[in-house]
Amino acid sequence: MEASDQGMNRILEQLHFVASYVGDCDDWVTVKKEILRGIPSPLRKRFSRRDSRTKEQWLNDFEKELINYYREQTGVDLKLRTLAERREMFGVL
Protein backbone atom coordinates (compact mmCIF):
# COMPACT_ATOMS: atom_id res chain seq x y z
CA MET A 1 0.00 0.00 0.00
CA GLU A 2 1.47 3.31 -1.06
CA ALA A 3 1.24 6.39 1.09
CA SER A 4 0.83 8.66 -1.90
CA ASP A 5 -0.85 11.56 -0.16
CA GLN A 6 -0.83 13.30 3.17
CA GLY A 7 -4.18 11.80 4.18
CA MET A 8 -2.97 8.30 3.49
CA ASN A 9 0.20 8.99 5.46
CA ARG A 10 -1.93 10.06 8.43
CA ILE A 11 -4.11 6.93 8.22
CA LEU A 12 -1.05 4.64 8.06
CA GLU A 13 0.56 6.50 10.94
CA GLN A 14 -2.58 5.92 13.01
CA LEU A 15 -2.75 2.28 11.94
CA HIS A 16 0.81 1.74 13.19
CA PHE A 17 -0.04 3.48 16.46
CA VAL A 18 -3.13 1.32 16.96
CA ALA A 19 -1.12 -1.82 16.17
CA SER A 20 1.32 -0.84 18.94
CA TYR A 21 -1.33 -1.27 21.65
CA VAL A 22 -4.02 -3.69 20.40
CA GLY A 23 -1.60 -6.60 20.46
CA ASP A 24 -2.92 -9.74 18.81
CA CYS A 25 -6.51 -8.46 18.52
CA ASP A 26 -7.80 -9.79 15.19
CA ASP A 27 -11.15 -7.98 15.10
CA TRP A 28 -11.32 -5.51 12.20
CA VAL A 29 -14.13 -3.45 13.73
CA THR A 30 -12.15 -2.90 16.94
CA VAL A 31 -9.04 -1.83 15.01
CA LYS A 32 -11.11 0.31 12.63
CA LYS A 33 -12.79 2.16 15.52
CA GLU A 34 -9.41 2.94 17.04
CA ILE A 35 -8.06 4.20 13.71
CA LEU A 36 -11.13 6.40 13.20
CA ARG A 37 -10.79 7.92 16.68
CA GLY A 38 -7.31 9.13 15.82
CA ILE A 39 -7.78 10.66 12.37
CA PRO A 40 -9.43 13.91 11.28
CA SER A 41 -13.06 13.72 10.15
CA PRO A 42 -12.36 14.39 6.45
CA LEU A 43 -10.23 11.22 6.26
CA ARG A 44 -13.01 9.05 7.63
CA LYS A 45 -14.85 9.17 4.31
CA ARG A 46 -12.43 6.53 2.94
CA PHE A 47 -13.90 3.97 5.32
CA SER A 48 -17.18 2.10 4.84
CA ARG A 49 -20.22 2.72 6.97
CA ARG A 50 -22.33 0.02 8.50
CA ASP A 51 -25.66 -0.88 6.95
CA SER A 52 -28.27 1.45 8.47
CA ARG A 53 -30.92 -1.28 8.64
CA THR A 54 -28.97 -4.37 9.72
CA LYS A 55 -26.11 -2.53 11.49
CA GLU A 56 -23.69 -4.99 9.87
CA GLN A 57 -20.27 -3.86 8.71
CA TRP A 58 -18.92 -4.45 5.21
CA LEU A 59 -15.51 -3.91 3.63
CA ASN A 60 -14.76 -1.52 0.81
CA ASP A 61 -11.64 -1.86 -1.37
CA PHE A 62 -9.69 0.66 0.72
CA GLU A 63 -10.33 -1.32 3.91
CA LYS A 64 -9.35 -4.58 2.21
CA GLU A 65 -6.03 -2.97 1.29
CA LEU A 66 -5.55 -1.74 4.87
CA ILE A 67 -6.27 -5.23 6.24
CA ASN A 68 -3.68 -6.73 3.87
CA TYR A 69 -1.16 -4.04 4.81
CA TYR A 70 -1.84 -4.66 8.51
CA ARG A 71 -1.20 -8.40 8.04
CA GLU A 72 2.08 -7.67 6.23
CA GLN A 73 3.21 -5.32 8.99
CA THR A 74 2.03 -7.22 12.07
CA GLY A 75 1.37 -10.82 11.04
CA VAL A 76 -2.18 -10.46 12.41
CA ASP A 77 -4.98 -11.40 10.00
CA LEU A 78 -7.88 -9.08 10.83
CA LYS A 79 -11.33 -10.62 10.52
CA LEU A 80 -14.66 -8.97 9.80
CA ARG A 81 -17.14 -10.53 12.20
CA THR A 82 -20.91 -10.24 12.22
CA LEU A 83 -22.61 -8.09 14.83
CA ALA A 84 -23.76 -11.24 16.65
CA GLU A 85 -20.20 -12.63 16.69
CA ARG A 86 -18.82 -9.35 18.05
CA ARG A 87 -21.49 -9.21 20.75
CA GLU A 88 -20.70 -12.77 21.80
CA MET A 89 -16.97 -12.09 21.71
CA PHE A 90 -17.26 -9.03 23.95
CA GLY A 91 -20.08 -10.37 26.14
CA VAL A 92 -22.66 -7.79 25.07
CA LEU A 93 -26.33 -8.63 24.61
DSSP reduced 3-state for 50: coil
pLDDT band, very low/low/confident/very high, at 90 (cuts 50, 70, 90): confident
Q: What is the pTM of this model?
A: 0.86
Element (H, E) at 40: none
**pLDDT, average across residues 35-48:** 96
At 1-32, the pLDDT tens digits run 655 588 999 999 999 999 999 999 999 999 99
The CA dihedral of 16, 18, 20, 21, to the nearest 10 degrees, is 180
Query: Looking at per-residue confidence, does 93 or 12 come out higher?
Result: 12
C-alpha gyration radius of the chain: 13
